[in-house]
Amino acid sequence: MRSTVNWEDPGLPERDGVQNSVQDLDFSRDGEILVVAVANLVLIYDAKEGDLLHRLRGHKDTVYSVAFVRDGTRFASGGADKTVIIWTRKGDGILKYTHNDSIQKVCYNPSTDQLASCTAQDFGLWSKEQKSVAKHKVFPRVLSSAWSNDGKYLALGHENGKISIRDNKGAEKHVVERNAPIWCMAWAPNGLSVGSSGSNPNPEVLELLAVGCWDQTLSFYQATGVQHLKDRKLHFYPCSLSYFSDGEYIVIGGSDRRATLCTKEAVRLCAICDKKDWVWSVCAQPYPVLDGGNGDTGKAKASPMVAVGCYGGSISVYTLNFSLVHGLHQDRYAY
């Protein structure tokens, strides 16, 4: 695999000795737009060209999280001003609500478009059909969150190492206890296939959650809280992880100042990039479906892109080029 820099923005200048770190970033579902949380701003970029399209100033303090809805028509942001803002794709603010503490994470349900917003004291669930935000108390601080692909489960990662798996109404169903902060998590796009055999060509597919813990491990859990595979030792603090759309690869960023490409079982393949600062956020672009040229749509795919945001404020987008492997023998391959 070769990675090439598509574009790079050095970020906002340092002010009063404080770096304007990239807190979070997310692609729209069509992969055309990249939204970035940095300082008290939300930046909207053309994902391919790197043009800064909009600089949104709706927040009064640091923005910690951004997330697109499944159809890409709008996105949410939340931050230290205790406020969640929902924006259109073009940057128009259309709705705002508040919590009593800083918003650590926002994420949209991929099935129902329900929005979860998480803080140190509670998490809220909101949808267009509701007149108010349904809030649920939590302890301690929520650091990470993710909806399952079927929209039935919301996973919360806590500061004390607790992983709470809840239903889409907020009720806690399963708990996993670890011994360090749960800094990042994501559900595998294709889940875990079980029960496959010659007599059963249609295996059951279970939701599978990847968890980045600050005991320097990556681990996997089913929605029931049952662990799948052993912990993978990373030898660095994972700050962000993102699955490719096909679920075959994971990108992990963290204290090793790299964005690392891994298999879906978290076996390290290669470094996508090396940075001067901690990699604070990574996001794999959803695979765009292209026109094949002769009316053959829905088959050709562009080379995938990965967005990387650093503690020092830089924002980069890399294109990944995978070479075709023609043959394998022990530790050698032909291409």
Q: Pairing mode, if any, of strands 208-213 and 182-187?
A: antiparallel
| Peptide linkage before 140 cis (omega within 30 of 0) | yes
Helix (H, G, I), strand (E, B) or coil at 95: strand
* Chain Cα centroid distance, residue 42: 16
Q: Are 323 and 1 in contact, with CB atoms under 8 Å apart? A: yes
Q: Quick one: average pLDDT of 29-58?
A: 96
C-alpha span between 77 and 132 (Å, rounded): 18
Check residue 209 and give its pLDDT: 98
Instruction: Give the model confidence (pLDDT) of 259-274 as tens digits.
Output: 999 999 999 999 999 9
Q: Pairing mode, if any, of strands 93-98 and 182-187?
A: unpaired
Higher pLDDT, 326 or 14: 14
> Whose CA is closest to 103, among 126, 131, 84?
84
Bridge partners (DSSP) listed for residue 126: 115
Check residue 67 and give its pLDDT: 98
Instruction: Give the model confidence (pLDDT) of 148-160 as tens digits.
Output: 999 999 999 999 9
Q: Quick one: average pLDDT of 240-250?
A: 94
C-alpha span between 2 and 115 (Å, rounded): 36
Check residue 301 and give its pLDDT: 57
- Kindly indicate the confidence band of residue 300, based on its pLDDT and cuts at 50, 70 and 90: very low
Higher pLDDT, 249 or 326: 249
User: Is residue 224 pLDDT above 90, yes or no?
Assistant: yes
Check residue 199 and give its pLDDT: 54
User: Is residue 227 pLDDT above 80, yes or no?
Assistant: yes
CATH topology of domain 2-334: Methylamine Dehydrogenase; Chain H (2.130.10)
Exposed/middle/buried for residue 179 (C-beta within 10 Å: 0-12, 13-18, 19+): exposed
Domain extents for the chain?
A: 2-334
Exposed/middle/buried for residue 106 (C-beta within 10 Å: 0-12, 13-18, 19+): buried
Check residue 295 and give its pLDDT: 46
Model confidence, pTM: 0.90
User: Is residue 118 pLDDT above 70, yes or no?
Assistant: yes
- Which token pair is 152? 């039935």
User: Is residue 237 pLDDT above 50, yes or no?
Assistant: yes
Check residue 2 and give its pLDDT: 87
- Kindly indicate the confidence band of residue 258, based on its pLDDT and cuts at 50, 70 and 90: very high
Q: How many CA atoms lie within 13 A of 139 on its CB side?
A: 0
> Whose CA is closest to 146, among 235, 212, 199?
212
Average the pLDDT over each of 91-100, 194-203, 243-252 and give the range with the smallest value: 194-203
C-alpha span between 317 and 46 (Å, rounded): 11
Instruction: Give the model confidence (pLDDT) of 54-82 as tens digits.
Output: 999 999 999 999 999 999 999 999 999 99
C-alpha span between 86 and 63 (Å, rounded): 13
- Kindly indicate the confidence band of residue 126, based on its pLDDT and cuts at 50, 70 and 90: very high
